[in-house]
Amino acid sequence: MGAQTRGTIAAESAEVDELAEGWQQLVRRFHRITCQLDRALSAAHGLTSSEFTVLEQMYQAGGSVRMSELAQTACVTQSALSRLVGRLHDDGLLRRKTCDADRRSVSAELTPAGKRRYLQARETQRKILQTEADDCPVTTAMLRDGNRAAG
């Protein structure tokens, strides 16, 4: 193997190592923020960050989402989603409804209490995200790119 080939391999290895380190930083930040969200949302609103995410997805979808669609976007396993939806149902924040068009499908519908709880919890979640965004290079880049696209 020639010196040029070894140099190329070393440079590629350094790039991959840098990518891996960036990934680890992102994962650590995600877990730290998720823990902060879990503590704050639980203390103030009786919700986990996963429950908040499901309520947010339902709110953004107009209040009703098929469980199969929710499973694709909730970032939890099917069994975890089922337990999570069960807790939200037991708390009166959503109800399950069989779809009229396809009796095999089930939808989750946000109740008025669920909408209120989501909107209250959203303020808490947004404050934490804003605090964390202040020193996050990824968020800074996303906001910069979003503002550029909008302008």
Per the prediction, the chain carries an average pLDDT of 85
Which of residues 11 and 91 earns the better pLDDT score? 91
* Predicted confidence (pLDDT) at residue 151 exceeds the cutoff of 60: no
Lowest mean pLDDT among 46-50, 70-74, 75-79, 146-150: 146-150
Exposed/middle/buried for 124, CB within 10 Å: 0-12, 13-18, 19+?
middle
Q: For residue 70, how many other CB atoms are within 10 A of its CB? A: 21
